[in-house]
A and B are shown apart, each in its own frame.
Chain A
Amino acid sequence: MHPISPIRLLQCLLLLLGLTLGWMSVAGERGPVIPKGKGDRCVADTDFMRRNHMDLIVHQRDETVIRGIRDEPFSLVECVDCHAQRDANNEPIRVDAEGQFCASCHTFVAAKIDCFGCHAAVPDGEDQERADGGHWLPNKQLAAFRPHKAAPLKSSVRSTVSSDHDELSSDASE
């Protein structure tokens, strides 16, 4: 056996130190705390929304800007409507403010949001109760979204769609 060079030893120690520090920095975190939106549910399954909301928004954005289709459930206005919280004075809080719906996750994963430099981050007008969280999107419609020009659903995402929405799962496995 040949002796370990001091340089190599130092390198190993530094690597160990780096790994320890890195682990310590994330160990305390439990992930972002996301404020709950209005109603019981979002326009689609939570798992699906977490993975695909950006594609849905981009898809809807092109539909709206270019083809003038504005009454669809995936519009950013609808997002803000349901997910903006209210402060003690019942004033709406920006969804991109610290700890709020969009910012909590996006800060955690360090992904910049480019929406609210232009778009309103608070709902217009009075606070309206929403029992069902607005439209529930039929799975058939979700499937129809897939072949369109926006990014296709990734296979890993499909498999994680919860099993109580069978229709979506079967669509995804085709």
Chain B
Amino acid sequence: MLPNKAQAARRLFLQRLGVFSAATALPALLSSTVDAQSSTKGVSSAQRWGLLIDTSKCASGCDACVRGCHEEHGINSTGNEHTDAQWIRKIDLQNNLSGQKSSLPMMCQHCESAPCVDVCPTGASFKRADGIVLVNKHTCIGCRYCVMACPYKARSFIHEPISDQKSWAPRGQGTVESCTLCVHRIDAEKDQQPACAVACTDEAHSAILFGDLNDPDSDIVKAMANQPASQVRSDLQLNTGVRYVKL
């Protein structure tokens, strides 16, 4: 039998050990229940959706992705490109040194640390758990700070009343909007592709690949392993969800 003092010390040690292990186990326990909940319903951070755009397959003069996007979301041109919504645009580039020409679509890059999310005063500009950056138009007050903050000029302010919206793509005057990565398609069914990617494939270019950046077995991650993909304005270190091959 141990002396009283030692016994007391041991008891204290065991007590503390118990408290410590409970304290460390509790958050893990909690987070596992939260994960379990979110995996059954709604988006989860287990996925991170993204696009891989192969500029070598993208044809100059082809705007199938832009048309596909506009059709999907009911974006009708008013004839004024400066005030119309521009979710996705085509840019033709030429390398200043080599003279090599390339073409690519530019849209919301779904940044991990999105400047638009940082600056939004009401939190209307937000990032979903699966990495898609959206505007919650119910709380957007139309201050346009996110348009100022976006390095990619991917956001548009709606300058005039809109009619004939699609039921899955609500859009309206006085709020800001941008590419949603066709969130309504992704949520609705498994293995759905965004409209731009579908349009590109239909045109037989297949320059836009959509997939889960968190899934090592997905086509997009495999493709990125084969050839280096880069981010536009990688200097800003925003960890974009849209990557470009042969930029």
Is any CB of A less than 8 Å from a CB of B in the complex? yes
Please list the residues of chain A having a beta carbon within 8 angstroms of any beta carbon in chain B.
61, 63, 65-71, 77, 80, 117-120, 123-124
A124 to B168: give the CA distance in the assembly, Å: 9
The digit string for B27-63, where 1 denotes a CB below 8 A from any CB of A, is 0000000000000011100000000000000000000
Given the contacts A65-B134, A66-B136, A124-B166, A118 and B172 also touching, CB distance less than 8 Å: yes
Q: Given the complex, which residues of A lie within 8 Å of B129, measured CB to CB?
A: 67
Q: Given the complex, which residues of A lie within 8 Å of B161, measured CB to CB?
A: 117
Please name the residue on chain B nearest to A71 by beta carbon: B188
Does B128 sit within 8 A of A, measured CB to CB? Answer: yes
Q: Given the complex, which residues of B lie within 8 Å of A68, measured CB to CB?
A: 42-43, 128, 130, 183, 186-187
Contact of B171 with A123 in the complex, beta carbons under 8 Å: no
Q: Given the complex, which residues of B lie within 8 Å of A80, measured CB to CB?
A: 167
A101 to B110: give the CA distance in the assembly, Å: 39
18 CB-based A-B contacts, threshold 8 Å: A66-B128, A66-B136, A67-B43, A67-B128, A68-B42, A68-B130, A68-B187, A77-B167, A118-B137, A118-B162, A118-B170, A118-B171, A119-B165, A119-B167, A119-B170, A123-B167, A124-B167, A124-B168
Instruction: For residue A168, give the distance in angstroms from its CB to the closest CB of chain B.
Output: 23
The 7 A-B pairs at the shortest CB distance, nearest first, are namely A118-B172, A67-B42, A118-B170, A68-B43, A117-B172, A120-B167, A68-B187
Instruction: For residue A128, give the distance in angstroms from its CB to the closest CB of chain B.
Output: 13
Q: Given the complex, which residues of B lie within 8 Å of A70, measured CB to CB?
A: 184, 187-188
What is the predominant secondary structure among interface residues of chain A facing chain B? loop
Please name the residue on chain B nearest to A125 by beta carbon: B167
Given the contacts A65-B138, A67-B41, A120 and B187 also touching, CB distance less than 8 Å: no
Q: Given the complex, which residues of B lie within 8 Å of A69, measured CB to CB?
A: 41-42, 187
Instruction: For residue B127, give the distance in angstroms from its CB to the closest CB of chain A.
Output: 10
Number of interface residues of B (CB under 8 A): 28
Please name the residue on chain B nearest to A70 by beta carbon: B187
Instruction: For residue A104, give the distance in angstroms from its CB to the closest CB of chain B.
Output: 21
Please name the residue on chain B nearest to A78 by beta carbon: B167
Does B173 sit within 8 A of A, measured CB to CB? Answer: yes
Does B145 sit within 8 A of A, measured CB to CB? Answer: no
Does B175 sit within 8 A of A, measured CB to CB? Answer: yes
Q: Given the complex, which residues of B lie within 8 Å of A118, measured CB to CB?
A: 137, 162, 165, 170-172, 175
Instruction: For residue B115, give the distance in angstroms from its CB to the closest CB of chain A.
Output: 20
Contact of A120 with B183 in the complex, beta carbons under 8 Å: no
Q: Identify the interface centre among B130, B138, B162, B188: most chain A CB within 10 Å of its CB.
A: B138
Q: Given the complex, which residues of B lie within 8 Å of A117, measured CB to CB?
A: 161, 172-173
A70 to B182: give the CA distance in the assembly, Å: 13
Please name the residue on chain B nearest to A123 by beta carbon: B167
Contact of A66 with B126 in the complex, beta carbons under 8 Å: yes
A71 to B184: give the CA distance in the assembly, Å: 11
Please name the residue on chain A nearest to B165 by beta carbon: A120
Q: Given the complex, which residues of A lie within 8 Å of B183, measured CB to CB?
A: 68
Q: Given the complex, which residues of B lie within 8 Å of A120, measured CB to CB?
A: 164-167, 170
Within 8 A of A (CB), among B174-216: 175, 183-184, 186-188
Please name the residue on chain B nearest to A64 by beta carbon: B187
A116 to B176: give the CA distance in the assembly, Å: 16
Instruction: For residue A130, give the distance in angstroms from its CB to the closest CB of chain B.
Output: 16
The digit string for B114-147, where 1 denotes a CB below 8 A from any CB of A, is 0000000000001011100010111000000000
